[in-house]
Amino acid sequence: MHQLRALIIGNSDYTESPLPHCVSDAAAFSRALQEVTGCETHVSKNLKADMYGEVNKFLNSIQQNDFVVFYFSGYAARWRQQIVLLSCENNRIRSENFINITHYGIDAQALLDDMARKTTHFVLFLFDCYQVLLEPSVVATGTPSNRSADGSNTIQAPKNTIIGFVCASSKPSSGFMGNGLFTTRLLKHIKNPKFDVVSMLKEVHQDLIQETNNTQQVIILSSFKTQVLLPRKAVTSPALQASTEKQYNIPPANVPPNNKQNVPQPAVHNVAAKDKGTLTRNTNTIVSSPSESDSSGHVIERKAIGITGKLGQGYDALSDRVDDSLYHNKGDRSIHLVEYLSKIKFENILIQRLFFGTIYPSGISCLISYERPVNENTWFLYYSHTFGTQKSTLTSVNSVQTGTHPNKNFRGATHIITEIQYGIEVLCVIQVPKDRSCENIDILLRNISEQLKDKQGKVNLNADEQSRIRQLGNIRIYGAARYIFNRDVSLSYVLSSLPQWQTDPTYYHPLVYKMISLHYHSRDQKYIEISLINNDTNSVMERLLSSITDMHRLVGNTDKLLDTSLENVPNLTIKHQWICFRTEFNELSSAYRQLCKHFQQTLRKLGNNPSDTEEIDRILSNNEWLSLQNNFHKLQASIKKCLSKIEFIEMLKKDQIEYQEVSEIIKSTHRQSSFPELHTALQLYLKKSRQSLVLMYSSDQLRQQRADDWERMYKQFKLERQNRAEKYSLIYVDFTQYEHLLTNFDIIRPVEDKPPASSSKKPSTELNVLLIGETGVGKSTFINAFVNYLKFDNIHEAEQGEPAVVIPVSFPIATGDEFKEVTIQFGVADSNENHQNKGQSVTQHCRSYIINLNEEVKIRLIDSPGIGDTRGFNQDQISMDHIFTYINQLTHLNAVCLLLKPTVSKLDVFFRSCVRQLLTYLTPKGHPNIIFCFTNSRSTFYGPGSTGSALKRLLKEEGLQQTILFEKSNVFCFDDETFRYLAARKCKVDFDDFVRDEAILSWTKSVTESIQFVKFIRTLKPYKLDEHQSLRKVALDVAMLSRPLMELLRVMLYHWKLIKYGRREKTIIIQPSAVDIEICSNCADRIRTTIASFNIVQYKSTKSRAQATCHCPCNEKHFLIEYTVIHELKPQSLMYSSEQLKGSLEKLLFKYDRLTYFLQRNGFTNKNDLFSSIWEQFLDGENHIYEELQSLTVRRDKNNKELVRCNENLTLDDAVELAHELKSENGIDRQIECIKTSRRLLMEKTVSHINTPISNNNVFATLTSFQP
């Protein structure tokens, strides 16, 4: 028995020039291969020195008769006529002068030869490589190589192998995210069962040539002379001929749209499959010219509706009848039925005539008259068996050689039957009860379908399956009357009878007729010459069917909306309105049926003159038809508006708010009442009420037009109950009937209800000061020193007392004549302070230190991670993002203090990493709040030193000298080394008198400068953060939106899947919860839970690792878990269609991409696209919607191309408004609120309140006595 074994390698994390797609390419190919073959696969990612061992282990596992598949995505090198697949340690190759290149990679030819020797069956060798040219001859001599650049001359296909590979240039393709070109096309074609392996690779090759303008191509090498097929799962097979008796099977919902076989093929389909695009593939071909075999119409084929036809018998192609009967269609005529008939190979002209009732249906064509509703709970099971074909030799019209008597009756005929295909066909329509699992029905019917294919009509079911078959009710069976004598027979009867029907010729009947035109063959003018439907006529017919089917959908959707239960809706106005809706619907439906009858009569007249379409044009253009459409649309809009009101009332009820209309409270109101009259009456109602009430005035129009104000007022309204000692009832007063009178929201309290008297005590003022500086500049030391300046009058008191250690310190110091080095550690260790890694920021996250200057004024000093970290510019980006996110939660900033050392002459890195980014957050209004503080300034005589000159030069070069001042008033020079001196003294380190005197002088000078520092900050106007918008704020919003949007899109894709499965009865709801811990996706615990048959990965707020704090890097494998999500299944129907869902999803994604494009245009790169990082993580843990998630990359690429093409140039206000729209989106808004709550909780954890005696320092006493 053959077994498939696969080794799949994706190397992205190269030491030099990492590649973006390779790991995701390998993972995607693994999933596709597993889906196609049903075999388990495994992906090896980012192999280094272990790459050789991994390959050797795989080689040892290969058995003699195995199918072997090898796939590699990563760098490849050409070396000494070899192609070497490189491990991630590619930096080691050049460093060792290429001597041991094979130690860091695998010789592709040698590996292929080894695999071919291990198996006698089949090896498929695929690699998608970015090529690195390392040819020594080229490097050494400069002479051109005679080998091809693609590497095709350096690898050969040994026996039983097929090779397919791309060696592109050394630079990978760009894009937002997703897979490389070769793998993307490979994923597309590997799932197509009609291709053998070589044909599949050729299709990939053609796609690649077109997409890259012939710059990339697939090299295909094969040692096989015959076709080789991948082993595939049976359920994914295409429509295959199962036996010599032409027994056919189509897997569920998988009909190739271009299949031209004459015989319809059996299949299982659910109506919900329409939403997958399977039932609608042929929609555009329903209205078209007849399916003649030649353009003249002389020879045609027809699906046999009437089964009485015989060889040599006449056939009327104008009406598609063997006899003269006419039928009036009274069925549902759902568009689903039309599409399904097209799927099982009914010609388009037959479908048109069946749909409009101009021909009499029989057998399976009676489906068009199916009287029950066709919806997502409707399933189709179709089976066809062709026994053989009977042909005639036509010598003249009056002589048809068939072995029977000549048939001379051609009255009314246009064609003569010359060939008939005989067999049986059965169609079962199954209505699944709403309380039954559609997924189980799908599995059962697929099993039956597969057995029908494999066992020639015989189906073996176990006891449980037989029981489930018997439980299926509402089954309708269609087929020829000779074996389906009653359409209500059971499915069990059909399955048990199929073997007899297909072996007994008495049950066979015509399936397909082939005919030749009498006029053409006989040249006799008495026979009618068929006029083919021309383009104009076809266009009118297409417009007619399209118009009717659109109207049919509209009627059906409106009817479905009206089925909403109003049992729990107490509002009498809505119930009365619902009755009016139903009455109007019945009247419109009656008018629609009358027009349809008119259409039928007109179409019968067109039978003899298909070009006469003026009557149809008149009907479609007249006011009656257009008015009917318009009235249905208006009715549906009114119903949806009413349903929205019902949902709103339910929300009020959930929030314990009573809903009442004005007319319910004031019984004597009339339409002409003025607003003062209504307001006075409502106040009187409040006064007379025995309850304590608070009213809110609003209307539907106000809520829609002023959504922001509505949210704010509604939150305030809900707080009314919480802010009062006694219990109050809240009533929402609906002014919708009088919306012309109400111009604003209002909250009405009882007249005697006065707001609580304000306290005489003034609120405290908080001075918020952000400290930013390079790593090691001394921000933490500055805070420690500042607190001790407040606590002690002089340095001698500090030595004798207990110095305040706000932030623990650790530093080396040389002591004594021999300069012995001692490490001073002062204060309790803090996980936020990392003293272990030299060159990295000691402070890991922002922290606030609040110090009371007096009873009414306090200062918040915000310590931040250092800039210029040895981990590189990317780490500085992360640190600045963290700083901005942190301060964005404050109401205001009083000052931004840039801390610098006075002896730095080059500030380019600091300016680029810090100041420029700071100015993307602060608007020019905040520039006066930027001040400069110099630490360690004793060496420059308490001046800014050479740093000051460099700083002024940079400000001038950037054109900022007018808005960011650098002058005596906003420049402060400290020497906080006195705190280090104090720490060393407390650790028993002795200093000589000179050092001690310097420390005393430094202390005095720094205290004086600190007083000036605080006094100056007091003079600055606070920069209100919520009043100013900036580019960086938009970027913060985009980052904050990334995960909520991804969570919502994932749920929308789950809903799309549910609609596809016909499971509309329930909705998946996102329930977010705030967290009070900082943790990333790499460290958080993850659980996999099952919701509506989907296995969903959910992050928890607990750590999977032992460390107390998460210090993981923020890269493509990590993102911050700022809230947790629980998915719940609610008994709430999905009211929208898959197309509406798709449209909503694409609109949301386009809004987000517009924001990212706006940021790119304004200098923000998408190098660390957080949405892509989260998408990668979701994709990695997803099984059910993997392909749908993959499609988001395609959509984003299209969005980006469209934005580039139209060169959209949003203003800052436009971007802010767009971000606000997304944050307010239903499903995103609650997640955003949770993020804000989590950040507030985390910020509270980072706040330290410093308890110091308020005026211990006599010099500071003048400062602490000031009033705000």
Q: Of 586, 608, 640, which closes a domain? A: 640
Burial of 723 (0-12, 13-18, 19+ CB in 10 A): exposed
Looking at the fold, whether 188 and 262 belong to one and the same domain comes out as no
Looking at the fold, whether 840 and 974 belong to one and the same domain comes out as yes
**According to the model, what pLDDT value does residue 1211 have?**
92
How many independent structural domains does the chain possess? 6
Residue 851, phi then psi, degrees to nearest 5: -120, 125
Would you say residue 1232 lies in a domain? no
Q: Of 718, 748, 778, which closes a domain? A: 748
Residue 559 has pLDDT above 70, yes or no: yes
State the average pLDDT for the chain. 75
Lowest-confidence pick of 293-307, 526-540, 1010-1024: 526-540
Residue 822 has pLDDT above 70, yes or no: yes
Would you say residue 1259 lies in a domain? no
**According to the model, what pLDDT value does residue 352 have?**
72
Tokens of 738: 């009088």
Tokens of 994: 């000179």
Strand partners, 476: 429
Mean pLDDT of 853-869: 84
Would you say residue 1241 lies in a domain? no
Contacts of 798 (CB under 8 A, 6+ apart): 788, 791, 792, 982
| Cα angle 1184-561-714, degrees, rounded to a multiple of 5 | 85
Q: Of 720, 748, 776, which closes a domain? A: 748
CATH of the domain at 983: 3.40.50.300
Mean pLDDT of 497-503: 83
- Cα pseudo-dihedral 448, 453, 455, 459, rounded to 10: 20
Confidence of residue 319 (pLDDT cuts 50, 70, 90): low
Instruction: Identify the H or E element spanning 26.
Output: helix 22-37
Mean pLDDT of 738-747: 76
CATH of the domain at 31: 3.40.50.1460
Confidence of residue 120 (pLDDT cuts 50, 70, 90): low
Q: Tens digits of per-residue pLDDT, 460-488?
A: 888 888 888 887 777 888 888 777 866 77
Looking at the fold, whether 1062 and 1165 belong to one and the same domain comes out as yes
Looking at the fold, whether 72 and 188 belong to one and the same domain comes out as yes
Looking at the fold, whether 214 and 250 belong to one and the same domain comes out as no
Looking at the fold, whether 477 and 361 belong to one and the same domain comes out as yes
Looking at the fold, whether 228 and 286 belong to one and the same domain comes out as no
C-alpha distance from residue 452 to each of 16, 263, 661 (Å): 56, 16, 62
User: pLDDT: is 212 or 885 the higher one?
Assistant: 885
Would you say residue 625 lies in a domain? yes
- Cα pseudo-dihedral 80, 81, 85, 86, rounded to 10: 20
> Can you tell me the distance from the alpha carbon of 759 to that of 763, in angstroms, rounded to the nearest whole number?
9
**According to the model, what pLDDT value does residue 356 have?**
67
Mean pLDDT of 749-762: 52
Would you say residue 201 lies in a domain? yes
Question: How many C-alpha atoms does 1033 have within 13 Å on its Cβ side?
Answer: 20
Looking at the fold, whether 621 and 702 belong to one and the same domain comes out as no
Residue 1215 has pLDDT above 90, yes or no: yes
Would you say residue 1016 lies in a domain? yes
Looking at the fold, whether 100 and 168 belong to one and the same domain comes out as yes
Would you say residue 1234 lies in a domain? no
User: pLDDT: is 520 or 1008 the higher one?
Assistant: 1008
Specify the pTM.
Answer: 0.46
User: pLDDT: is 81 or 976 the higher one?
Assistant: 976
Q: Tens digits of per-residue pLDDT, 1029-1073?
A: 999 999 999 999 999 999 999 999 989 888 887 888 889 989 888
Looking at the fold, whether 1084 and 980 belong to one and the same domain comes out as no
Would you say residue 883 lies in a domain? yes
Domain that holds residue 1180: 1031-1227
Per DSSP, the three-state class of 983 is helix
Looking at the fold, whether 505 and 542 belong to one and the same domain comes out as no
Confidence of residue 294 (pLDDT cuts 50, 70, 90): very low
Residue 290 and residue 610 in contact, taking contact as beta carbons nearer than 8 Å = no
Tokens of 843: 């402070």
Residue 836 has pLDDT above 60, yes or no: no
> Can you tell me the distance from the alpha carbon of 736 to that of 703, in angstroms, rounded to the nearest whole number?
10
**According to the model, what pLDDT value does residue 242 have?**
30
CATH of the domain at 582: 1.20.58
Q: Find tokens 């003899």 and name the residue.
A: 608
Q: Tens digits of per-residue pLDDT, 9-58?
A: 999 988 888 888 889 899 999 988 888 887 778 789 988 877 888 888 88
Looking at the fold, whether 712 and 589 belong to one and the same domain comes out as no
